[in-house]
Chains A and B, each alone.
Chain A
């Protein structure tokens, strides 16, 4: 019998350890993860619609993406994200098959194959001085069927062959302060014009032979009034520029090499023009658009340099560049705003009265104003010309308009997530109709029959497709109610455009979106920038009827002492509850661990002058806060001065400011790093909402160690100033990395360790009693990851039972943040292969499940690495008891197991952050990774030990149960017979 049990246990053991992996099967992709691809706010767009076949638009964006989009559906054909320092200046299409991109301030010219995005060639252009970069692809000038590309960058004019990127000639045009503003080649001409300004008042024209780059003519003329550097070309030989005072329009005529100026006062053209004028950057012909006060004035040029006002329209409007279409005619688009509508007009360049197109399109006002418009023309079936317009909205979304309708739209604001938080969904209301149940029962049975077929490998290919489709769009996961496991939540993300999106974790769809009010964009606050998002009200115990809400913090302007803006948004409805323009600045927002009777969280906003303000401003909040007044501590990091300071509250700042919610603060401590040898490059703290299950860690030999768990620990990494730059800029001798663990209440340095010969950047995560950080080791020339674990030594004696019995333990002693506990530190270092962009750690509801590190690698993948690999107690030959504990033998580098990539075969392009959210189910963590793309999945670091997985075969279970019952009856009958025969014997 014992042997049987042993065999059984062995079998069980084999079963549990044979399939010890966390990976997905390929057909499980999309079951619990979703991936969304974005491109960001479009800067330039070039249409490619000439030939039959796929119609495309090639765009470059502020997220530094070059992408080719399907003009019919808006899908991405291909896209490339350039490096962070390699900003795209301009794009164009050459030869009808290459996308040409100019980047890095005019020094890198690349050609991409239009159909598939393969890079064809790359040219590195050099020049002596940084300058404006310009790209001009001449269509009329051809050398052996080769269009030449004219590039001005770094003070040189280059002519580049568009076939292979070879530099045909280069001409240096940079003198001391010449700034070339425009390069163009008139039609049917071999002469290239380059025009620019020298200093503030000299205007230069260069005429260059397009064949060999010889300088044919150089003229310069001085305009005594000076220029404001704003200009627009009206025709091939005329410019309109603003003078230095922005009150005079100067027409510059440079025909035949002669430069003539002609001044016109704007006030003569436009009445009540007391504001300053700016020229719209749109390239039109025969006219320019200038903005004065709240108007856009189109000014046309008639013969002999006479200027006249063509039209005057209200300001929020967007104008496209002129688009040449049939027989030398040119058209441009103008978009104006109406009530919940936009008006798109396409007009001929030379005739204002003509409207080639006049459409009104319903527009969700959550998209804000139109910021950019690009037009493209096509030939309708009746041989007339139609126009389609690509518009970029204030929330960075991209829309294609055609025939008075929105053909497609892309929410590209989601490419620039700056902060996020989560929220529970509403609780499910009772009352489900019977018909629904019956229907779902039938569906359920049908589904299970199909699944059974799938399990038994009897399903036909069509069935497999149906099964896969059923699994992917199971209505369960995209319901708008809370689920038992806590997998369904709302992700509230704040984008750079100032728009809030609520994404459903089930399928990633946008539940609602809300453009944070542009009403703050008043006289007082022209450009509010939104910074961060906090959970303001999370009703759970009482106040269950209230909807949860978030607090969005912004400021009016870019400087840190600009006045702040607060907005409170209801999470279920997506409506703003209230918004505030507050008088003080916001340097720091501290969510306090107290909530009032309506579950509103108390927040402390610290301004630049170190005054603290309490929100919400209610008497109840201030009463609660007064009680906790002496227990509030915080710290601030001044990275530029290399100082960390600790603060506490002092008293009401009544005498100075009449405000009982305002408090003075005092410095408690400061740590000043010697700026000649150390520079702060990275800090990390524990997550505020992290749950720790147990303070003790049972180690081998029935011993225990006590984790030092404090919410007030701060990890700081400093490097030598020389090593603060990029890798390769410092030698191992002159670089070092110093790591500190600082208690933020007392300012005490708990631990300090120096890594000589190491280099930034440092990425760190802090969780429970350990911190893991990633840095570069210059001596080994590899990346390293180190772990530091902190244990409380003062509680180590508590293990003595006798003391426990006699009451001599210190378990009941109050824990104070002021106490100086004896801590011991264990640490270990390993090699890690990849560069890291960001790091996070899993978090679960109760903290029981073991942790995994989530590492965002340079290849934009997210790797899950067990914390067990980063255990300082690993040794080369672990003892038997250590092995039983699960300690892995020490290796010099951390393993990269491809199956443990959370993102499997996908990439989260431009990865910037990883957020983990605990689900209600203890084993499971929700993971949200954002960058240009968004990716969401859920992972179980120790497998789903507390629930059955989705591919659990219920059919097999049923079969087994039936078989067992059958066996019971068979054996019963057998045993009855046997017993009977025994008795007969």
Chain B
């Protein structure tokens, strides 16, 4: 993309070049009374991205008033809407991979040549109609590389972790306990008949005999 630094002025100009037209037409108002909105879309580093997005400048669409008119970008990013009536308009940029704020553009009949544009998302005024994406859009989750953490976080990892805790930490907890309390708890357990692991497995119970 060419990065021209030319100052882009007179963005909304009177579309009718009166000098070219015969005067008879200039008087016949109504049919061709309108203004031209010129602007530019600037996407930094387009095409140089690592993602496999089909983001190409030829696929960018500029949409006026929710689909009333659609235009495309020239190779250096300029676009224009011709024959636009005076009023307040909305310009949207549809570009895959980028989030653009819609732009409110006032085309006034009183002082042609004056542009008033503002981003509707951030309410930021624009001095010239240069549209830049607010952010890039990433449509896919990024697959995290294989790591121990992800394995641990999975349900199976949690099961293992829980088991390890029970196997190795529980005896430690038991050791730290007050022996008296321990005895009481054991008595309680035997009274209640809570099945221990050894009791559960008949072979183990037999082996202990």
Judge whether B54 and A956 touch: CB under 8 Å.
Answer: no
Which residues does chain A contribute within 8 Å of B48, judged by CB atoms?
A: none
User: Complex Cα distance A128/B31, Å?
Assistant: 7
CB of B167 to closest CB in A, whole Å: 6
Judge whether A835 and B66 touch: CB under 8 Å.
Answer: yes
Which parts of B37-72 form the interface with A (CB within 8 Å)? 52-54, 56-58, 61, 63, 65-72
Judge whether A976 and B204 touch: CB under 8 Å.
Answer: yes
- A687 is an interface residue with CB less than 8 A from chain B: no
Judge whether B141 and A126 touch: CB under 8 Å.
Answer: no
Binds B, one of A132-140, A266-274, A403-411, A963-971: A963-971
User: Complex Cα distance A897/B128, Å?
Assistant: 29
Which residues does chain A contribute within 8 Å of B53, judged by CB atoms?
A: 905
Which residues does chain A contribute within 8 Å of B163, judged by CB atoms?
A: 964, 967
Judge whether A858 and B63 touch: CB under 8 Å.
Answer: yes
CB of A300 to closest CB in B, whole Å: 44
- B22 is an interface residue with CB less than 8 A from chain A: yes
Judge whether B166 and A729 touch: CB under 8 Å.
Answer: no
- B113 is an interface residue with CB less than 8 A from chain A: no
Judge whether B154 and A956 touch: CB under 8 Å.
Answer: yes
Judge whether B207 and A976 touch: CB under 8 Å.
Answer: yes
Which parts of B63-112 form the interface with A (CB within 8 Å)? 63, 65-75, 80, 82-85, 87-90, 92, 94-97, 99, 101-102, 104
CB of B202 to closest CB in A, whole Å: 12
Judge whether B67 and A83 touch: CB under 8 Å.
Answer: yes
User: Complex Cα distance A677/B35, Å?
Assistant: 30
- A119 is an interface residue with CB less than 8 A from chain B: yes
Judge whether B65 and A727 touch: CB under 8 Å.
Answer: yes
Which parts of A935-985 form the interface with B (CB within 8 Å)? 953, 956-957, 959-960, 963-964, 967, 971-972, 975-976, 979-980, 983
Judge whether A728 and B80 touch: CB under 8 Å.
Answer: no
Binds B, one of A13-21, A316-324, A431-439, A866-874: A13-21
- Of B58, B85, B167, most buried by chain A (CB within 10 Å of CB) is B58
Q: Which of A84, A457, A963, A979 contacts B208 (CB 8 A)?
A: A979
Sort chain B's interface into a size bin. 35 or more
Judge whether A118 and B198 touch: CB under 8 Å.
Answer: no
- B193 is an interface residue with CB less than 8 A from chain A: no
Given A835-B67, A971-B167, A899 and B88 touching (CB < 8 A)?
A: no
Given A82-B70, A976-B207, A781 and B104 touching (CB < 8 A)?
A: yes
Given A116-B58, A119-B74, A727 and B89 touching (CB < 8 A)?
A: yes
Judge whether A4 and B74 touch: CB under 8 Å.
Answer: no
Which residues does chain B contribute within 8 Å of A15, judged by CB atoms?
A: 153-155, 158
Which parts of A752-774 form the interface with B (CB within 8 Å)? 761
- A12 is an interface residue with CB less than 8 A from chain B: yes
Given A4-B166, A728-B89, A27 and B143 touching (CB < 8 A)?
A: yes
User: Complex Cα distance A960/B157, Å?
Assistant: 8
Q: Which of A23, A456, A776 contacts B141 (CB 8 A)?
A: A23
Judge whether A727 and B197 touch: CB under 8 Å.
Answer: no
Judge whether B162 and A8 touch: CB under 8 Å.
Answer: yes
Given A11-B161, A905-B54, A896 and B65 touching (CB < 8 A)?
A: no
User: Complex Cα distance A546/B187, Å?
Assistant: 71
Which parts of A1-50 form the interface with B (CB within 8 Å)? 4, 7-8, 11-12, 14-15, 18, 21, 23-27, 29
Judge whether A24 and B140 touch: CB under 8 Å.
Answer: yes
Judge whether A728 and B58 touch: CB under 8 Å.
Answer: no
Judge whether A729 and B87 touch: CB under 8 Å.
Answer: yes
Which residues does chain A contribute within 8 Å of B104, judged by CB atoms?
A: 781
Which parts of A243-264 form the interface with B (CB within 8 Å)? none
Judge whether B156 and A959 touch: CB under 8 Å.
Answer: yes
Which parts of A920-944 form the interface with B (CB within 8 Å)? none
- A782 is an interface residue with CB less than 8 A from chain B: yes
- A880 is an interface residue with CB less than 8 A from chain B: no
Which residues does chain A contribute within 8 Å of B146, judged by CB atoms?
A: 455-457
User: Complex Cα distance A283/B73, Å?
Assistant: 35
Q: Which of A122, A455, A456, A983 contacts B74 (CB 8 A)?
A: A122
Nearest opposing residue in chain B for A951, CB measure: B143
Nearest opposing residue in chain A for B31, CB measure: A128
- A904 is an interface residue with CB less than 8 A from chain B: yes
Judge whether A907 and B96 touch: CB under 8 Å.
Answer: yes
| Binary B-proximity of A844-859 (CB < 8 A = 1, otherwise 0) | 0000000000000111
| Binary A-proximity of B111-139 (CB < 8 A = 1, otherwise 0) | 00000000011000000000000000111
- A172 is an interface residue with CB less than 8 A from chain B: yes
Nearest opposing residue in chain B for A23, CB measure: B141
Nearest opposing residue in chain B for A782, CB measure: B120
Q: Which of A728, A893, A972 contacts B85 (CB 8 A)?
A: A728
Which residues does chain B contribute within 8 Å of A7, judged by CB atoms?
A: 165
Judge whether B201 and A972 touch: CB under 8 Å.
Answer: yes
Q: Which of B80, B101, B143, B160 contacts A964 (CB 8 A)?
A: B160
CB of A144 to closest CB in B, whole Å: 22
Which residues does chain B contribute within 8 Å of A979, judged by CB atoms?
A: 198, 204, 208
Which residues does chain A contribute within 8 Å of B63, judged by CB atoms?
A: 83, 835, 858
- A302 is an interface residue with CB less than 8 A from chain B: no
CB of A82 to closest CB in B, whole Å: 6
Q: Which of A837, A967, A971, A972 contacts B67 (CB 8 A)?
A: A837
Given A24-B140, A122-B80, A972-B201, A728 and B208 touching (CB < 8 A)?
A: no
Q: Which of A457, A901, A956, A957 contacts B139 (CB 8 A)?
A: A901
Q: What count of chain A residues pass the 8 Å CB interface test?
A: 87
Nearest opposing residue in chain B for A907, CB measure: B96
| Binary B-proximity of A428-470 (CB < 8 A = 1, otherwise 0) | 0000000000000000000000000001110000000000000
Given A120-B74, A728-B90, A976-B208, A23 and B140 touching (CB < 8 A)?
A: yes
- B182 is an interface residue with CB less than 8 A from chain A: no
CB of B65 to closest CB in A, whole Å: 4
User: Complex Cα distance A24/B139, Å?
Assistant: 8
Judge whether B158 and A858 touch: CB under 8 Å.
Answer: no
Judge whether B139 and A905 touch: CB under 8 Å.
Answer: yes
- Of A857, A904, A905, most buried by chain B (CB within 10 Å of CB) is A905
User: Complex Cα distance A288/B165, Å?
Assistant: 93
Nearest opposing residue in chain B for A172, CB measure: B22
Q: Which of B69, B84, B120 contacts A83 (CB 8 A)?
A: B69
- A124 is an interface residue with CB less than 8 A from chain B: yes
- Of B36, B138, B145, most buried by chain A (CB within 10 Å of CB) is B138
Which residues does chain A contribute within 8 Å of B153, judged by CB atoms?
A: 14-15, 18
Judge whether A124 and B28 touch: CB under 8 Å.
Answer: no
CB of B82 to closest CB in A, whole Å: 4
Q: Which of A85, A120, A129, A896 contacts B69 (CB 8 A)?
A: A85
- B25 is an interface residue with CB less than 8 A from chain A: yes
Which residues does chain A contribute within 8 Å of B58, judged by CB atoms?
A: 78, 80, 113, 116-119
Given A960-B160, A976-B198, A899 and B120 touching (CB < 8 A)?
A: no
- A860 is an interface residue with CB less than 8 A from chain B: yes
Judge whether A124 and B102 touch: CB under 8 Å.
Answer: no
- A509 is an interface residue with CB less than 8 A from chain B: no
User: Complex Cα distance A187/B132, Å?
Assistant: 49
Nearest opposing residue in chain A for B135, CB measure: A898
- B9 is an interface residue with CB less than 8 A from chain A: no
CB of A465 to closest CB in B, whole Å: 15
Given A121-B74, A834-B102, A859-B61, A904 and B92 touching (CB < 8 A)?
A: no
Judge whether A858 and B92 touch: CB under 8 Å.
Answer: yes
User: Complex Cα distance A923/B73, Å?
Assistant: 42
Given A120-B74, A128-B31, A26 and B143 touching (CB < 8 A)?
A: yes
Which residues does chain B contribute within 8 Å of A976, judged by CB atoms?
A: 198, 204, 207-208
Which residues does chain B contribute within 8 Å of A396, judged by CB atoms?
A: none
- B190 is an interface residue with CB less than 8 A from chain A: no
Q: 4 new A-B pairs (CB below 8 Å) besides A835-B67, A901-B137, A976-B208?
A: A4-B166, A858-B92, A905-B54, A959-B156
Can you give 24 A-B contacts (C-beta < 8 A)?
A8-B165, A11-B161, A12-B158, A24-B141, A25-B140, A27-B143, A83-B68, A86-B69, A86-B70, A119-B74, A120-B75, A122-B74, A126-B21, A172-B22, A782-B120, A783-B102, A834-B92, A835-B90, A857-B94, A858-B92, A859-B95, A896-B99, A967-B167, A976-B204
